[in-house]
Structure 1
Amino acid sequence: MEKYSDLITFIRQLYRTPTAHLPLHAPTFEQRDKDYVMDAIDSTFVSSVGEYVNRFEQDLAAFTGAARAVATVNGTCALQTALKLVGVESNDEVITQPLTFVATANAIAHLGAAPVFVDVDKDTMGLSPDALETWLKENTEVKAKAKVKTKNSQPQPYPQPQYQPVFNKHTGRRIAAILPMHTFGHPCRIEQIVAIAKAWSIPVVEDAAEAIGSWSRQTHCGLFGDLGILSFNGNKTITCGGGGAILTRDNTLAARAKHLTTTAKIPHPWEFDHDEIGYNYRLPNLNAALACAQLERLPDILKQKREIARAYQAFFAFRDWGQFMAEPHDTQSNYWLCTIALADRAARDALLEATNNAGVMTRPAWNLMPDLAMYAACVSGSLDNARWLQDRIINLPSSVRS
């Protein structure tokens, strides 16, 4: 169709790539990236101990405004650890959204807990505070603290968070956390979500895997809840091949995060003493070297990505067949993946076929989590908005131009 030909031509002109394959989101590297990696190699500290790991954590905390950042091997491990830190245990439930990458639900399942899927807002594509509040009112009850027995009798080296026990009155399971995700870098209505969570005394962990450099008002995504996480996978805004991080304003939680992700080893010059079952989730120094170099380039990367987003927005301002998904009000999105919404699934599929056949990579939204076999039996609310978006949205090429 001619309208899709116009879009393909526009994207190729935008990226100054008239014929070659255009990826959805490719990383870019400069000499500094290579220099830092070679310096880490020359130091021989290439595993989980090294100055680049410490430097990356300090630089990331400074950029985001976190009290501390704890670097991990990937975002999924960061998310699993963060959920454990707020007390999620086996047989609990965690409220999250159906429109997300599978790692969000997997991190819950890794702890033996079950996700509960609550609808998203159409404009943010993230967890809807209205749907959240409605679901809590209709499906939960609060039980007295004295009636709840701790599931883990093992002594802990750090104090555990204390929250009012809220239970799903249909399944009998405890609602242990709320886990919103900032979809494609657009901040969800996180302040409203946190306010609801506080009213119900439920902890919040933010999946900000896609949202490095995204802000709601003056606060970086990942710093509204008890803990937040970031991802530095190869397709993210900045990358170190893999990599993730836990963000928090709470120094006690940060200390416990670092302890738990470094095999719960008690610091000592030579003794190997561990005081609980921990994880080997520490980011290697070799990856951290690349992360440090990428983080130094982040302001310029974000500037370029906003320029690309503005170009797409201007293109679709004069097209009635596609709506550009702009950053929500009072937020600043990193525009990790520029996204449009079409009229229906047929139009979506036609555009996907036309662009990919032309060597311009586009992709639809993820399959909704309750549509996956392993999560089909999980509790779900009404998912009208999530299904509306799944039928319509497409991600466009969003790489930084080299």
Structure 2
Amino acid sequence: MSSTQSLIRFVREFYQSNEFIPLHAPHFNGNEKSYVLDTIDSTFVSSVGAYVDLFERQVAEFTNASSAIATVNGTAALYSALYVAGVRPNELVITQALTFVATCNVIAQLGAQPVFVDVERATLGMCPRALETFLDQHCHLKEGMCFHSSGSRIAAVVPMHTFGHPVQIHEINRVCARFGITVVEDAAESLGSFYKGQHTGTFSPFAALSFNGNKVITTGGGGMVLCESQEVGKRVKHITTTAKVAHAYEFYHDELAFNFRMPNINAALGCGQMEQLHAYLSAKRALALAYQAHFDGSELEFVCEPEHAQSNYWLNAVICADKHHRDEFLEMTNKAGVMTRPVWQLMHTLPMFKNAIRGPLDMSVWLAERIVNLPSSVPTVSEVK
């Protein structure tokens, strides 16, 4: 039996299903429905309501963030974080080419330009050495700010915790501190992931989470900005709620801002999901350990959590021998009704970012030709047993 056929059998046996097996489906087996119905009965279904405040507190407490501000989606969360971090038109933001397109879309929508540096194999995220080499070779400090040789300011660095695996964020922060650059973590995929005992998204002034339907927990669509202080959190909340100055009846807005607040009905769903987060993470770890055991001794390399990290294993992944093997694996599994997918197209290969400034991307290219994501839905208790 081939390794691909063996994987198909393993997945079907694990999930106890002969039907189509999705990549990552949401689970609703707690208080989600009653909380959503409560918002309907209260009529507070839009951006004002008790569940928005509760959901923000739940996430802040779980991550140990000073402040957490709910938004309509993860893209809006990252946009808001970069805006408050000071990213403005004609500036540069360094990120990784191995990422979801939203990371780069928000940079461009702010009028800035993405710059790509390589990732490392162990974390699948931004390589601190590649970042430092790029800055040493192409950038300089002037009056406490970092400028590229083109003359544009490097306004921020955005590492992503790919598939929930934490990057070497301490090293990235060290490099950025040396060059006076703000770090904004793209933690969209890493709720429940820790690096050296600290939750991802809390190592920098700002971070963005996502609660899309395919994430560890979901609000249908939604995101969250994690902030380093209550003061910064108030600033984020102000600009994500149209910069309306509080008043009993007057509508006065004191600056250009956005309508990015999460509706109460979505937050209600999130509150029910947060109550089950610990159980979800335990179940997903059990699935990852089962995959790891299954692939032990195989020509497919299972992607394990990096050193000093506790990953949420949002999406499990394997590294194939080469692109040909990857393509065969994808074809066979999807034809068999077991959903797998390749990693995203590298950002510099997309038409809107093909002319972006970039350093060498050898590891990004190597991984993009070989990574396959595996079914990673939260298994039920009976499936884990």
Q: Which of 145, 159, 168 is the equivalent residue of 1:165?
A: 145
Other-structure match for 2:57: 58
List aligned pairs for 1:43-122, cutoff 5 A.
43-122=42-121
Q: Which of 352, 373, 391 is the equivalent residue of 2:351?
A: 373
Other-structure match for 1:8: 8
Q: Distance in 1 between matches of 2:371 and 2:30?
A: 36
Check the 8 A contact 2:204/2:228 in 1, yes or no: no
Q: Does residue 218 of structure 1 match 2:217?
A: no
Q: TM-score, normalised by structure 2?
A: 0.98
The amino acid of 2:23's aligned partner reads: L
Other-structure match for 1:40: 39
Q: 1:202 to 1:31 in 2, by over 3 A?
A: closer
How far does residue 322 in structure 1 lie from its aligned partner after superposition?
A: 0.4
C-alpha offsets along residues 102-149 of structure 1, whole Å, 9 cap, x if unaligned? 0000110110000000000011000000000000000001123xxxxx
Other-structure match for 1:230: 209
Partner SS, residue 204 of structure 1:
strand
Q: Distance in 2 between matches of 1:94 and 1:3?
A: 41
Q: Does residue 355 of structure 1 match 2:354?
A: no
Other-structure match for 1:315: 294
Other-structure match for 2:270: 291
Q: Which of 164, 167, 180 is the equivalent residue of 2:159?
A: 180
What's the % identity of the aligned pairs?
Answer: 52
Partner SS, residue 285 of structure 2:
helix
Runs of 4+ in structure 1 displaced over 3 angstroms?
none
Q: Distance in 1 between matches of 2:183 and 2:233?
A: 15
Q: Does residue 341 of structure 1 match 2:319?
A: yes
C-alpha offsets along residues 198-251 of structure 1, whole Å, 9 cap, x if unaligned? 111100000000000000011100011110110000000000100000002222
| Structure 2 residue runs without a partner (length 5+) | 381-385
Q: Which of 288, 302, 312 is the equivalent residue of 2:281?
A: 302
Other-structure match for 2:29: 30
| Structure 1 residue runs without a partner (length 5+) | 145-163
Q: Distance in 2 between matches of 1:211 and 1:401?
A: 18
Partner SS, residue 369 of structure 2:
helix
How far does residue 2 in structure 1 lie from its aligned partner after superposition?
A: 2.3
Q: Distance in 1 between matches of 2:335 and 2:169?
A: 38
The amino acid of 2:111's aligned partner reads: G
Check the 8 A contact 2:30/2:272 in 1, yes or no: no
Q: Distance in 1 between matches of 2:3 and 2:48?
A: 53
How far does residue 31 in structure 1 lie from its aligned partner after superposition?
A: 4.6
Q: Distance in 2 between matches of 1:54 and 1:129?
A: 36
Q: Distance in 2 between matches of 1:251 and 1:58?
A: 12
Q: TM-score, normalised by structure 1?
A: 0.94
How far does residue 3 in structure 1 lie from its aligned partner after superposition?
A: 2.2
Partner SS, residue 166 of structure 1:
strand
The amino acid of 1:306's aligned partner reads: R
Q: Distance in 2 between matches of 1:31 and 1:124?
A: 33
C-alpha offsets along residues 73-119 of structure 1, whole Å, 9 cap, x if unaligned? 00000001100111100000000000000000011011000000000
The amino acid of 1:360's aligned partner reads: V
C-alpha offsets along residues 278-336 of structure 1, whole Å, 9 cap, x if unaligned? 100000000000000001100000000000000000011121x1001000011100000
How far does residue 30 in structure 1 lie from its aligned partner after superposition?
A: 1.7
